[in-house]
């Protein structure tokens, strides 16, 4: 079976077309600037050159039609008939409390995703649009929803409740949900494979450190706590998001800077994080280079980022009552060697001793602690698309 994995954002859509016989990617691509001037699709077949197709792409309907056309194209396509698309797996950001697993999409599921769109107003509406268009263009092909929040639904109340009036939870669903669930689930599973132990016997801390970043405390394969909250703004310091903050700062900034709720939300989501601190960039490659040249604010941004991750490792090992393995994944986790070192520095008390030679790698499965460390730290590259494709295959079969 071949599966199309779709990740629809408001002005962009990413896709991968995966052959589930051997889990190989047949083609992948992205459409950018949907509904904006200068829209284009970049499509890369596994055994061919990347092509860029500029087009007027007013909406998601045209966008997804272009994806299908690219897959069918005589030159750069990878299939000859639309029927070869066995199923479509959709990344859906927010499942609220309704979904603890992936599901085949029917009217009821669609409505349930629609019901929680207020919790992810930037993400769920374009996810729903992708589902609608997919059903319109491929009515006989099953669609599956894979939720960013699902893996975290095992969290106990004591981890997901906020200490604000209980009615706000009842009335608006204000609680911790957590995100990047597909990634945390994938690397937790890989950690168990790496240690060759059943996941049921392991205490795992997963660090998904990308432009968006979050951590999870996983006990016996179940999430006990995670750092993102009602929205992806909470927790770690990110590319442009502030992460944990004294909540009193929000009304304080609003008053001082004369900002309305939308503006302060924008400041904390888009202008903060390591970008806001450093004034250089949201990208750790740029910030690292600036710090090396003596830029103090860049160094502060790196230090604050690492300190936050370290703090969560400590708190999650307390939540779990110990830790067997700390996993690093996503753009920074997989590639930023010095950042990993800095985070793990001083964690010898937890049994973690970094082996700098082993740590000198990017983007491959590798244990980075010394053989005599009681606790393992490892780099395990994530693959969210593959999780979506696997869940989709399992459900439609
Ligand atoms: P997202 O999916 O959230 O956009 P990624 O997981 O792709 O993010 O991570 C992107 C980030 O990874 C970049 O912004 C950059 O900070 C970091 N990154 C990627 N490659 C490297 C590298 N070689 N060294 C340091 N950081 C890197």
Name 262's Cβ contacts closer than 8 Å, sequence gap at least 6.
Answer: none
Distance 282 CA to ligand 1 centre (A): 9
Q: What kind of architecture, by CATH, is found in domain 197-379?
A: 2-Layer Sandwich (3.30)
Distance 335 CA to ligand 1 centre (A): 7
CB 211 within 8 A of CB 238: yes
Number of alpha carbons in the 13 Å side-chain half-sphere of residue 206:
37
Name 371's Cβ contacts closer than 8 Å, sequence gap at least 6.
Answer: 355
Measured from the Cα of 330, ligand 1's closest atom is 6
Provide the annotated active-site residues.
148
Tell the burial category of 161 from Cβ atoms under 10 Å away from its Cβ (0-12, 13-18, 19+): middle
Pocket test for ligand 1, best of 28, 235, 332 (most atoms within 8 A of CB): 332
| pTM for the whole structure | 0.95
Measured from the Cα of 212, ligand 1's closest atom is 3
Indicate which residue's Cα is closest to atom 21 of ligand 1: 335
CB 116 within 8 A of CB 94: yes
- Ligand 1 in contact with 330 (CB < 6 A)? yes
- Domain spans of the chain, in order of start: 2-147, 197-379
Alpha helix segments (H runs only) across the chain: 60-72, 107-115, 124-137, 157-160, 166-172, 181-195, 249-257, 261-270, 273-278, 284-292, 296-320, 330-335, 337-344, 384-396
- The DSSP secondary-structure symbol of 394 reads H
- Ligand 1 in contact with 387 (CB < 6 A)? no
Distance 283 CA to ligand 1 centre (A): 7
- Ligand 1 in contact with 331 (CB < 6 A)? yes
pLDDT tens per residue across all 397 residues of the chain: 999 999 998 889 999 999 999 999 999 999 999 999 999 999 999 988 999 999 999 999 999 999 999 999 999 999 999 999 999 999 999 999 999 999 999 999 999 999 999 888 889 999 999 999 999 999 999 999 999 999 999 999 999 999 999 999 999 999 999 999 999 999 999 999 999 999 999 999 999 999 999 999 999 999 999 999 999 999 999 999 999 999 999 999 999 999 999 999 999 999 999 999 999 999 999 999 999 999 999 999 999 999 999 999 999 999 999 999 999 999 999 999 999 999 999 999 999 999 999 999 999 999 999 999 999 999 999 999 999 999 999 999 9
CATH, domain 2-147, list 1.10.10.350, 3.30.420.40, 3.40.190.10, 1.10.3720.10: 3.30.420.40
* Nearest-angstrom CA–CA distance, 23 and 28: 13
- Ligand 1 in contact with 328 (CB < 6 A)? no
- The DSSP secondary-structure symbol of 354 reads B
Q: What are phi and psi of 338, to 5 degrees?
A: -65, -35
Give bridge partners of residue 369 from the DSSP assignment.
354
- Ligand 1 in contact with 243 (CB < 6 A)? no
């Amino acid at each position: 079976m071949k599966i199309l994995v779709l990740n629809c954002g408001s002005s962009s859509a990413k896709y991968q077309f995966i052959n589930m016989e051997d889990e190989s990617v047949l083609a992948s691509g992205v459409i950018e600037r949907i509904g904006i001037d200068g829209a284009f699709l970049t499509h890369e077949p596994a055994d061919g050159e990347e092509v860029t197709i500029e087009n007027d792409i007013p909406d998601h309907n045209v966008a997804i039609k272009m994806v299908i056309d690219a897959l069918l194209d005589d030159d750069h396509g990878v299939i000859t008939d639309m029927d070869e698309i066995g199923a479509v797996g959709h990344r859906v950001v927010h499942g609220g409390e309704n979904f603890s697993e992936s599901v085949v999409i029917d009217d009821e599921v669609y409505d349930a995703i629609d019901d929680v769109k207020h919790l992810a107003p930037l993400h769920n509406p374009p996810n729903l649009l992708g589902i609608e268009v997919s059903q319109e263009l491929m009515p006989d092909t099953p669609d599956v929803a894979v939720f960013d929040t699902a893996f975290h639904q095992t969290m106990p109340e004591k981890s997901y409740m906020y200490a604000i009036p209980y009615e706000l939870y009842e009335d608006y669903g204000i609680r911790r949900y957590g995100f990047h669930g597909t990634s945390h689930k994938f690397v937790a599973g890989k950690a168990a494979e790496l240690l060759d132990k059943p996941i049921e016997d392991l205490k795992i801390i997963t660090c998904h450190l990308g432009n968006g970043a979050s951590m999870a405390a996983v006990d016996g394969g179940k999430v006990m706590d995670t750092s993102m909250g009602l929205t992806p703004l909470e927790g770690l310091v990110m590319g442009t998001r502030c992460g944990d903050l004294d909540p009193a700062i929000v009304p304080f900034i609003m008053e001082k800077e004369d900002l309305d709720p939308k503006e302060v939300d924008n400041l904390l989501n888009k202008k903060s994080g390591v970008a806001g601190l450093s004034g250089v960039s949201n990208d750790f490659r740029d910030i690292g280079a600036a710090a090396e040249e003596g830029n103090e604010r860049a160094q502060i941004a790196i230090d604050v980022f690492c300190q936050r991750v370290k703090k969560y490792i400590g708190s999650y090992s307390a939540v779990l009552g110990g830790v067997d393995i700390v996993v690093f994944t996503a753009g920074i986790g997989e590639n930023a060697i010095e950042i990993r070192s800095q985070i793990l520095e001083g964690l010898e008390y937890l049994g973690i001793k970094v082996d700098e030679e082993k740590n000198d790698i990017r983007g491959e499965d590798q244990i980075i602690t010394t053989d005599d460390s009681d606790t393992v730290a490892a780099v395990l590259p994530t693959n969210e698309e593959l999780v979506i494709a696997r869940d989709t295959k399992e459900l439609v079969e």
